């Protein structure tokens, strides 16, 4: 049986990740003790129906499938650029669902985000308050360092799981200038330290800390974490900034483009079922208007769903569809008039 591709893009969950060949020698990690990958249970998925639906309905093109597999084989981050609504963040959920990588760990980036935010959060004030309330005999129960520290999405993804975890680093182009290089060092080494736990290791060699997304705890020895199965990391960017060459050369790079024709129809069908005559006319109109300004695929999905659910006919239906598909930006030289009718 051929080993390529592991990720097929068919949206059917399978255990193909266990057939992934050994990593390149320079990307081989040996962290331990090995942790089981958390199951993405039905209850957990039900708490985020939007993400669950997007994972099932995602339809990648051939280039996306190829480059996702390249990132998996090489144990490298996947840097995904593209216009809004092109499916950058949905890709992480689709891959995690198909390959059974467990719940996606999501790290939303802002201009104030630091590397430590992704690795762990520590609240010294709550620890000090707990210690002040404790009696001398009960100080350890209320004041333990590990009770006031939680691993972040990046810190959790780098735990020594048996299978790769899926990590979505969303909108990294919004970060400050230092974060890509800081992030690069951690992802290159596949490990990090928590200084607070390293200092406490003489008295408490093993700490049991909470992980991102749940109250589950994992053991950390002497404050050090090293991955075993390198996580599937998706870094999304709207193309609003340049990244350092050292960062770019360590990523597999994928540029998503606006879906067209048959691919766009497949996306609509995956989300909304069979396409009727009016929906097909909306798709044609969406493609035609896309030459005059920027539109997002989810605007088309909203228009098709809404015009069908509202039960309108004729000009009222056309007007409603037009209003929920305004341009996100206009092409150069185009007027701002949105009065073009169906």
Residue 290, number of CB atoms within 10 A of its CB: 17
The H or E element spanning position 302 is helix 297-310
Upstream peptide bond of 5 is cis (omega within 30 degrees of 0) = yes
Upstream peptide bond of 55 is cis (omega within 30 degrees of 0) = no
The H or E element spanning position 193 is strand 191-193
pLDDT at position 49 is 65
Bridge-based pairing of strands 217-221 and 329-330 is unpaired
pLDDT at position 128 is 65
Q: Which of 332, 326, 319, 320 is CA-nearest to residue 298?
A: 326
Residues (pLDDT < 50) of the chain are 42-47, 136-137, 139-143, 338-342
| Cα 268 to Cα 238: distance, rounded to the nearest angstrom | 23
| Cα 95 to Cα 232: distance, rounded to the nearest angstrom | 9
pLDDT at position 45 is 42
pLDDT at position 202 is 86
β-bridge partners, 78:
234, 252
| Cα 157 to Cα 190: distance, rounded to the nearest angstrom | 10
β-bridge partners, 232:
166
One DSSP character per residue, 105-144 reads EEEE--TT--HHHHHEEE-HHHHHHHHHHS-STTHHHHH-
- The structural domains of the chain, ordered by start, are 16-255 (3.40.50.300), 261-330 (no CATH)
């Amino acid at each position: 049986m051929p080993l390529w591709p592991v990720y097929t893009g068919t949206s059917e969950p399978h255990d193909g990740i266990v057939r992934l060949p050994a990593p390149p020698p320079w990307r081989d990690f040996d962290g331990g003790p090995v942790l089981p990958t958390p199951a993405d249970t039905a209850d957990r998925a039900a708490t985020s129906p939007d993400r669950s639906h997007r994972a099932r309905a995602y339809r990648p093109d051939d280039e996306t499938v190829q480059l996702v597999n390249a990132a998996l084989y090489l144990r490298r981050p996947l840097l995904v650029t593209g216009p809004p609504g092109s499916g950058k963040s949905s890709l992480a959920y689709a891959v995690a669902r198909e390959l059974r990588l467990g719940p996606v760990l999501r790290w939303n980036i802002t201009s104030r985000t630091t590397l430590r935010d992704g690795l762990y959060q520590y609240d010294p004030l709550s620890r000090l308050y707990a210690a002040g309330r404790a009696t001398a005999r009960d100080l350890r129960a209320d004041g333990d360092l590990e009770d006031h520290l939680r691993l972040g999405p990046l810190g959790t993804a780098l735990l020594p799981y048996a299978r790769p975890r899926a990590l979505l680093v969303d909108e990294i182009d919004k970060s400050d200038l230092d974060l890509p290089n800081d992030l690069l060092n951690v992802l290159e080494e596949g490990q990090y330290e928590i200084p607070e736990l390293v200092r406490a290791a003489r008295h408490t060699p093993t700490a049991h800390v909470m992980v991102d997304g749940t109250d589950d705890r994992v053991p950390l020895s002497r404050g050090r974490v090293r991955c075993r199965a390198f996580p599937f990391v998706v870094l999304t960017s709207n193309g609003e900034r340049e990244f350092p060459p050292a960062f770019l050369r360590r990523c597999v790079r994928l540029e998503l483009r606006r879906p067209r024709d048959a691919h766009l129809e497949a996306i609509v069908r995956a989300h909304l079922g069979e396409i009727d005559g009016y929906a097909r006319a909306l798709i044609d109109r969406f493609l035609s208007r896309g030459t005059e300004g920027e539109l997002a695929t989810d605007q088309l999905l909203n228009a098709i769903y809404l015009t069908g659910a509202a039960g309108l006919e004729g000009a009222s239906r056309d007007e409603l569809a037009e209003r929920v598909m305004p341009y996100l930006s206009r092409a150069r030289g185009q007027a701002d008039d949105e009065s073009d009718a169906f």
